[in-house]
Amino acid sequence: MGNLRKSWMVWALVGSLVAALSAIVLQDDVREKLGSNYYIISLAIIGCVLLVLSGYLWDVTILQRVRALGNQAKAVQSEDDYGALSADTVASEDIGHDEIIGLARQIERMARSLQRVEASYRGIVEDQFDLICRYRPDFTLIFVNGAYCRFFARKRTELLGQPFSGQATSERLPWKDDPAAQTYEQEIKGANGTTWLQWIVREIHDENHGVVEYQAVGHDITARKMAEVVLLRAKDAAEAANRAKGEFFAIVSHEIRNPISGVIGFAEILSDTKLDAEQREYVTLIRNSGDSLLFLINDILDFSKIEAGKIELENEPYSPRTCIQEVIAFFAPKATLSGLTLDTLISPEVPETVVGDVYRLRQILINLVGNAVKFTRAGTVAIHLTQLPISDNSAAIDLKFSIVDTGSGMSSEQVARLFRPYVQAEASTTRKFGGTGLGLDICKRLTEMMGGKISVESDVGKGSTFSFTIRVGGGRQLSA
C-alpha cells in the first residue's frame, strides 16, 4: 500500500505540473504579460516534470534490486540451521514496512546467525584435545586452538603470525585416498622427553580451486609409539630367546648323542662275544634303548636346526626305489615280530634316478613308516610311489609318496591336531607308545623345504594314508 500511494502522489504531481504548463502555453495574454519570463517558467516546469519522473524511475529500480537482494538473503537464511524466521520478521512483512529497512533487519539477523554458528564452531574446536590450526601457504599461522597453545605453552597472540611448527619427520602419505589431505608424523624432543604427533593436513581452496590456506590437526600418538617400541623390544627378546633355545637344544643334543653312540657301539661289540641267554637279553635291551634314545635326540636336533634355519638340502643323484627298499629293510624285523606285511607299489614312469636330498627323504619315510608300523596291530603297511604331471617345461618333476596302513585310523578331531610340534593324535599315545610328537612336524617342514606338501586321510577302524610330495630334478628313466 505504501508503494501504491507513493506512485499516485508522483503521478498527481506530474499531472499538476503538466496542467500548469498547459495553462501557460494555451493563454496568449499570459505569454504577453510574462514576456521573457514566460520561457523561464516553462522550462522550469518541464525540468520539474523530468526530474520527478527520473527520480521515480530511479526509485523503482532501486526497490527492485533491494527486493532481489532481500529474496536472496531469505533463501540463505532458510538454509541456515539457526535461520528460522522470528516473530518480528513475520510482523514486518505483514505490515509492509519499507524494503530497505526490512533488508537491513534481514542482514542483521543473518549476522547474528553467523555469529552463533561461529561461536558454536569455535567452542567445538576449543574443546578438542587435538591440536588444530590454520596457516597460509607461506606457513604463517592465522588460527590456533587452545590445545595448540597449551602444547607449546604460549599465548594465542604470540603464536599467530609465527611459522607453523608441524614439520614432518616422516614421509607424507595420502589420508583416506583424499588428494587434498595428507598425514605424517612429527617427533618433538623436549625437556620432558619425546612427544610424537600425527598431523592431518587439508588444503583449503578458493572458487578458482587455488590453495589459499591449510588446516592441520595434530593428534598425540606418543603412547602408541611407546607401545610399539615395547612390542619391538619384546619381539627381539623373544626371538633371541628362541634362538638361544635352539642353540641350546642343538648343543645338548649333540653332546648327548656322542656318548649314546658309544653305548650303542659297545653294546654291538658286546653282543658279538660269548654270552648266555640272560646276558644277551640285557645287551639287546641296552641296544634297543640306545637306538630309541638316539632316534629321539636326532628328532630334537633336527627340529632345533629347522627352527634356526640351519638345515641345507643336498642336491645329489639317487634312486627313489633303492631308498624305499632300504626303509622297508630297516622295518622288516619289527614288522615280522608284529605280524605285519610290508609292501611297495612303484609306478613304472618314476625315473630310476633323480636329483635331490636322499637323506631327508629317507628321514621322512622312516618317520611315517615307523608310525604306521607302531600303530598297526595287524594287516599291511605299504609305500606307494607315483610321478605327478607338471605344468611347466622345467626339468624338475614331482614325486608323490603314500604310506598306507590298515591300523585303527583317526577321527577328524585327531587329524586336525597333527603336524604340530609336541602334539600327538591322543594324549595317551605318549604314555603307551612313547615319542615327543616332533616327527610329523619335522616331516611337514622338510616336505615344504623340498617344494612339496603333506596331507593325511584317515577312517576310524579302516586305517590311514599319509601322502607327501617333493620336487626333484629329473634323472635317468628306467630302461625297459
| Each residue's pLDDT tens digit, 357-383 | 998 899 899 889 988 888 888 899 999
Q: Which residues of 254-283 are buried (b: 16+ CB within 10 A; e: fewer)?
A: eebbeebeeebeebeeeeeeeeeeeeeeeb
Taking the CB of residue 386, how many other CB atoms lie within 10 A of it? 16
Q: Is the pLDDT of residue 477 over 60?
A: no
Asked whether residue 277 carries a pLDDT value surpassing 80, the answer given is yes
Q: Tell me the pLDDT band of 95, cut-offs 50, 70 and 90.
A: very low
Residue 92's pLDDT band, with cuts at 50, 70 and 90, is very low
Q: What is the DSSP letter of 453?
A: -
What's the CA gap between 149 and 155, in Å, rounded?
6
For the segment 198-240, what is each residue's pLDDT rounded down to a tens digit? 999 999 998 888 899 999 999 999 999 999 999 999 999 988 8
**Residue 456's beta-bridge partner residues?**
466
Say which residues have a Cβ less than 8 Å from residue 401's Cβ, sequence separation at least 6.
Answer: 364, 365, 383, 384, 385, 467, 468, 469, 470
* Range of lowest pLDDT (291-295, 333-337, 390-394, 460-464): 390-394
Question: What pLDDT does 400 receive?
Answer: 94
H-helix segments, 376-426? 412-416
Between the two ends of the chain, the Cα-to-Cα distance in Å is 121
Give the dihedral sign, CA 109/115/121/124: negative
pLDDT at 431 over 60: no
**Is pLDDT larger for residue 58 or for residue 388?**
388
Q: Nearest to residue 363, comparing CAs of 465, 455, 471, 443? A: 443
pLDDT at residue 409 in the model: 83
pLDDT of residue 89 exceeding 70: no
Q: Of 127-136, 241-250, 462-471, give the lowest mean pLDDT range.
A: 241-250
Return the ∠ at Cα 131 (arms to 125 and 134), rounded to 5°: 75
CB 463 within 8 A of CB 406: yes
Helix (H) or strand (E) holding 405: strand 396-405
- Residues present in the chain in total: 480
Task: Please give the average per-residue pLDDT across 231-257, as a whole number.
Answer: 80
Nearest to 418 by CA among 458, 381, 388, 383: 458
Mean of per-residue pLDDT scores for the chain:
79
- More confident site: 116 or 17: 116
Provide, rounded to the nearest whole percent, the portion of the chain with pLDDT above 90: 21
Torsion angle (degrees, nearest 10) of CA 409, 412, 413, 416: 100
- pLDDT at residue 78 in the model: 59
3-state secondary structure of 437: coil
Q: pTM score, two decimals?
A: 0.50
DSSP-H helix ranges across 80-153: 87-95, 99-126, 146-152
Residues 420, 395 contacting (CB under 8 angstroms): no
Does the pLDDT value for residue 401 go beyond 90? yes
**The pLDDT of residue 117:** 82
Maximum C-alpha span of the chain: 179
Q: How many C-beta atoms lie closer than 10 Å to residue 305's C-beta?
A: 17
pLDDT value at position 99?
Answer: 61
Collapsing DSSP to helix, strand or coil, 402 comes out as strand
pLDDT category at 289 given cuts 50, 70, 90 is confident
pLDDT of amino acid 325: 93
Instruction: Identify the pLDDT of residue 16.
Output: 74
Q: Is the pLDDT of residue 70 over 70?
A: no
pLDDT at residue 158, rounded to an integer? 92
Mean pLDDT confidence for 332-351: 90
323 touches 363 (CB < 8 A): no
Question: Among 78-82, 289-293, 301-305, 365-369, which stretch is predicted with the lowest mean pLDDT?
Answer: 78-82
Section 428-433 average pLDDT: 48
Higher pLDDT, 93 or 447: 447
In the structure, how many helices (H) and strands (E) does the chain have?
A: 14, 13
pLDDT band per the 50, 70, 90 thresholds, residue 403: very high
CA–CA dist 376, 395 (Å, integer): 38
Residue with cell 610328537: 437
Does residue 433 surpass a pLDDT of 60? no
Q: Is pLDDT above 80 for 133?
A: yes
